[in-house]
Amino acid sequence: MRFSRQLIAIVTATLVSLPLGAQVHSPAAFDITVGSHTVKGGLIDFRTGGLFDVLATGRVRASPQRAVVAGLGVSTVLGGFGDRCLITPSGGCAGQGNFVIVNALVGVDKALGAGSGRLLIGPAVYDGADAHSVGVQGRVDLTSPARAHLAFGLMGRATVLPSHNGQSLVAWATGVSLAFR
């Protein structure tokens, strides 16, 4: 009983002593994002789907207000299932917009008041819709101040795929993130 009270007192004192607007400056970050993914161009069935994304980043170089970061990520997009068929000009069914995406990104993470913003760019590999291809991806993350190494954020990204099954595609994704700092 006495140990429990001491533990509660220590935890409470620690939480109260944390500055409310302090950004936790961790050398690594891990973001989990859920959102929406849409594909424009080409012939794909179920163009819009749910997105689940994981991104791990680490600092390459840092200064007090910004850091150069690099990261690796993986996403899944579930656009549609079933026996629906979008008929192609050649007579077959178009691929469904279900993807697995792997990316390697580099960019800058900058303090924005108590929160932070991150701008990343790099290659992305899309596998799905009856093909696989490599494109260029750009990503923007806006993150709230971290509290006990946890923050909330907004994510937006665009990917240009110059030749996915012989078709040019642009993929857009937006979502909300749980960020571990």
Whether residue 16 lies inside any domain: the answer is no
**Domain contains 75:** yes
Query: How far is Cα 98 from Cα 37, in angstroms, rounded to an integer?
Result: 10
Which pTM value belongs to this model?
0.81
Which helix (DSSP H) or strand (DSSP E) does residue 12 occupy? helix 2-17
Domain membership flag for residue 170: yes
pLDDT computed for residue 181 by the predictor: 86
Please report the pLDDT score of residue 72 as a whole number.
98
pLDDT at 12 over 60: no
Q: What is the DSSP letter of 147?
A: B
Radius of gyration of the CA atoms of the chain, in A:
20
Question: When comparing pLDDT for 4 and 15, which is higher?
Answer: 4
Range of the domain at 155: 23-180
The answer to whether position 134 is within a domain reads yes
DSSP 34-94: EEEEEEESSS-BS-EEEEEEEEEEEEEEE-SSEEEEEEEEEEEEE---SS---B-TTSSBP
Q: pLDDT grade, residue 88 (50/70/90)? A: confident
With cut-offs at 50, 70 and 90, classify the pLDDT of residue 81: confident
Question: At residue 23, does pLDDT exceed 70?
Answer: no
Other Cβ atoms within 10 Å of 139 Cβ, number = 25
The Cβ of residue 106 has, within 10 Å, a number of other Cβ atoms equal to: 13
Say how many domains are in the chain: 1
pLDDT for residue 18 is more than 50 = no
Residue 92 included in any domain: yes
Task: Kindly state whether residue 5 falls inside one of the protein's structural domains.
Answer: no
Percentage of the chain modeled with pLDDT above 70? 86
CATH at residue 46: 2.40.160.20
